[in-house]
Each structure stands twice: as C-alpha cells, then as structure tokens.
Structure 1
C-alpha cells in the first residue's frame, strides 16, 4: 500500500531506471532491484511500485528509512489490498469499484489503481433496482460486451492481476459468456505454461506452480499447453510444405499456416491453394491423420475440425502424419 501523504514519492521501475540513466530492460536484466538491501515494493501486483525516499537512500548508500506502520484513513490500497480489507476475492472488488461512490475516489499511482482506506472500509453497496428477472449473472440472450479480438489481451491483464482468476471472475469483469470466458482463460494460461515449459524444461504442473496458477484450475490448460508445444515443433515442417506448394505454383505466397487447436489436445492447420490451376481449394493437416483435401477455401477445417472420410472433394493424401513435402505434392498432383 501507499501510506498516507506519500503518493508523491511513488516510483515505478521505469522511474528508477531513468534515475540511474539506464533503460528499464537493463535494470530488469541486471537484477539490481532484486538485490539484498534494495527497498521492498509497496505492492504485489505486476507493476511494482516503490517508495522514492527509500530508493534514494539505497542508491546513495545511506540506511533505508522505515515506512510508517500505523494505518491511516488516507492510505491508498490497490486492488488486492482493497479486496483483502473487505474480505472478498479480487473479482468481487472489480464489481464493487464500479459503484460511483467508490469510482469517484479512484487514484492512479504509477499507473496502478488505488482507493483511500476509508472509502474501501466504509463503502456500502448501492442497492440494485429490481429488473423483473430472477437469478444473477448475465441476462439471458445478452451478447458479449468485449469484442472477441480484444478478449485475449483483456483476460491476460486480469490474469496478471490475479493468477487464481476463474471463468466466473472473467465473466463478472468483462461481461462475456461463461463458456467464452473459460475458453479464453484456458488459452491464456496454456500459452504461458507452454512458454515456461519450453524455456525451462519443466512439467506442466511445475510451470503452473511457477506462474502461481492453482493446481485445480490448470488441468485443461496443461493439456492444451502440450498441444501448443507440439504445434510449435510442427512449424518448420508446415513451412516446408507451404514452400513446396508455392514452388509448385498452387499458392500465391509461401506463408506457413497457423496451427490451431479446435480441441485442447489437437493440432490442425489449413493451407489455401489460391492459384487458378490448384487441384483443390485447400489442404488440411492433422497431427493425428496427416493431410487431406478440402472443398472450401473459406472454411477448410469444417465444423469442429472433424476428420471426414474420403468422398466428393475430399481425398486423403500420402501416408503418415508428416509425409515429405515432395511426396505430398506428388500425391496432390495425381488428383488433378
């Protein structure tokens, strides 16, 4: 928290780096802010804040002065501290802070939201007006309030603030359907877990623990993280296939396809054959089945990316999940 009367002393790591004449990334890489004796941050959020008086003393080699320890009505509390004071989860405070009686007291310090202790402690929620409907949650039939293309970034922000974030918390904060919230949250956790697994060679459970994710909330994310890693391993192969198809004159560019995960444990990809002489509208790859032709350029995967049997416009190509690009081209050539 920021003690009363000390808001003007708040500094971010960017401020501290600028004070030393270095880039913030240089400071982060050096680990100086983690060294013994460096003042402790004022908060536990992603954007760490520091007391300027303490920082100045440390950098000058002087003893670091202690901060006041007595609670004051004008202390500034961040999201997690406000929730703790009220005895509620952070997601509940996300709803509470929207009340005009709270929002008008919002204070931004170092880009982080804060509220005076007295406001947090004494606030009484405004009674809701009757709506004529029963039950809580989003009204039946209401659309998502956040555009789909903005949802991953918004969920990532919430997850940064609270590693124990739930789908219900996403729904309450962003006004999206529970299923939409769960899918976005699983994807965000899986992407981050995959990064940690890849960089440090740990298990999915260890990656989840390192990120602060509760074990009970990461089973699906762990399965998807494994699929994400397999998809990353398949990228060079898919790029080689795209290059071969482009060289054959069936693709206008050699752009590799994006690996998709229609289910948590599945990797698929699609390549559009956009040249006039191409023998099929598109190709679909599955890590389980290999390659097939598709009848649609716009929706080559089909509903649920199910693997269809051979039929009109659908032909299974070559052998195995990853046939050599030349073999795939030859197999496709024979369909022309």
Structure 2
C-alpha cells in the first residue's frame, strides 16, 4: 500500500529505469530491484505493476540506510484492488464490481498508473454496504416488496456467497440477500458462466461441463450457466474484431472516441454488439453487429439493439452492410460511405 501522504513519492519501474539512464526493457532484464537490500515494492504481492517509494529507493542507491515506512494505519493510506478486497474480506473480482459505487468511483486515486482507494473511503463503503444484514431475513425478500439490495450491487454480493460456497443455490442467495428468486438466479448464472469461461480460457481442453465440475458447481444447477459460458467465449473471441471495426469507424470521423462496442448476450444464446456513431458527419445513428447476420445500421442511439435482439427487416433506416458476419473493417466503412 501507499502510506498516507506519500502519493507523490511513488515510482514505477519505468521511473527507476530513467533514474539509471537506461530503457525499461534493459532495466527489467538486469533486474537490479531483485538485489539484496533493495526496498520492497509498496504495491501488493502479485500486482502486475511494481511501485516503489522514492525516499527508500534514493537512500538505497546512495548507500544510506533505507528509512522505514510509517507503520500505523491511516485513513489516507492508498490501497490497490487486492488490498481493498482483503480489507473488506472479499475476492478481488468482487471488488472490481464494488468499485463502481459512486462514492468509491469519486474517491479513486491513480498512482503509478494503478487505481487506488483511500482506506477511509473503503471502510466507509464497508460500513454502509447494502446486504450485510440481509442474512437475518430468514424468508428472503418480504412479500410485496422490491429487492432489498440495489441491483448494481447484487453481482458482487452474490460473488462473495459463491466464493464461500460453489454449490450455493438461488434460494439461498434469495434468503441471504433479500432479493427476488429470479434476481438471484440471474446473478448466479452470469457469475458461474463467466468463471466457467475463465477456466476454459486457462485450460482450453476443458468442456463447459468439465470446467463447471472443476469449479465445484453441481451439475444440476449449471445447465444455463454452461450454455451461457459458450456464448461468453464467443463474445471474447469476437472482441478483437469488434475493436478493429470501432477503430476504423473512429478514423473515418464517425465516432468522437475510439469506443469499444457494447456487447450483449440476449437470452444467453447469441452475441450482439452496438456502437453509437456520435460524430457530426456520421452516416447513421448507430451500428449493430450480430454474430449471425453481421453489421447493420440502427435508427436509435439510445436503444440501437431491438427488444429481444430481434433482427429487423431492411428499410426505415435499417440497412445491412457488407457481406457475411465478419467483413473486414474497411468494407464496413466503405459500405457506410455516402
């Protein structure tokens, strides 16, 4: 962690390389930071980006005693995602969802290119976190009431329960969080599908059913999750292509930023993506990509994908572009060019 008041002293490996007068590639090959006595990183163990305290590094390089960092915890200490997750007792993946909370998003601080959050902000979030006392509601959600937890926090809270018990059922999630059974089932299905897909990415020889079993998920509870996992994997494989098309559209001046298309998985059985064309000279309000039918124009920027992802007929602002589901980016641009 970065101790309170020391944000300005953070140095990356690139900073240390520049201090040595060498390039980062050369510096990481030499690995002087592995030498005995070199100060330990202030980044968490396992972090992709190593961060160091400048006072400690400078003292080491000058042959002076390395000064210790403050030992007392402070609300101003800056914690990375792993440290935040550990502080409130959840998995890092759960923190990746929690950090979207408006208060945490506002408190976020970047140090060395890595997102951090003040300890005090994390503790305040933990104290006010919805769902912490919902387990006391034995019957789950009271009748004729809405979910007791905000929808955007349900995935993270469910992820905690799934981390603790891979065999957990939707009924148990309902009882623990005080949400509707359908809400609980949807959250479990999505989480399990993503984790099954992650496991297959790591071990491509596995089938979805085998990956689910390896994760400890009961076979009778994951039929929808394994089906969705296959769609998630197709969406991941399509992502580089969609990014290339988005980049081509941006170069054409039809988007103000090189935004990544919004990918959706309607009914858990198909991959659909939408890209809003917000440039002044854009030839259409938005584009929609369907893994079966390819690209088409859309008439609405707010809701480019039709309800249920129903494929609309051509006409009234809808036009299919190029040939096949994955035409080259240049062909998509050419088909749109007046």
Task: Give the structure 1 partner of residue 173 of structure 2.
Answer: 170
Task: Give the structure 2 partner of residue 192 of structure 1.
Answer: 195
Give the superposition deviation at 1:267.
0.6
Runs of 4+, deviation exceeding 3 Å:
21-26, 136-141
Q: Distance in 2 between matches of 1:137 and 1:171?
A: 5
CA root-mean-square deviation: 2.5
Structure 2: stretches of 5+ with no match in the other structure: 1-39, 47-88, 92-132
Give TM-score, length-normalised by structure 2: 0.59
Instruction: Give the alignment partner of residue 145 of structure 2, picking from 142, 146, 169.
Output: 142
Give TM-score, length-normalised by structure 1: 0.59
Task: Give the structure 1 partner of residue 218 of structure 2.
Answer: 214
Give the superposition deviation at 1:211.
0.7
Task: Give the structure 1 partner of residue 164 of structure 2.
Answer: 161
Which entry has the higher C-alpha Rg, 1 or 2?
1
Matched, 1:98 2:144: no
For 1:33-52, what aligned pairs fall within 5 Å after superposition?
none
Q: Distance in 2 between matches of 1:180 and 1:229?
A: 23
Paired residues in the alignment total 214
Secondary structure of the residue aligned to 2:334 is: helix
Would you say the 8 A contact 2:141–2:147 is kept in 1?
A: no
Secondary structure of the residue aligned to 2:305 is: coil
Would you say the 8 A contact 1:46–1:161 is kept in 2?
A: no
Task: Give the structure 2 partner of residue 240 of structure 1.
Answer: 244
Task: Give the structure 2 partner of residue 265 of structure 1.
Answer: 269
Cα 1:24–1:323 change in 2 (3 A) is: closer
For 1:49-88, what aligned pairs fall within 5 Å after superposition?
none
Q: Distance in 2 between matches of 1:158 and 1:275?
A: 44
Structure 1: stretches of 5+ with no match in the other structure: 1-20, 27-44, 48-93, 100-124, 126-135
Cα 1:195–1:285 change in 2 (3 A) is: same
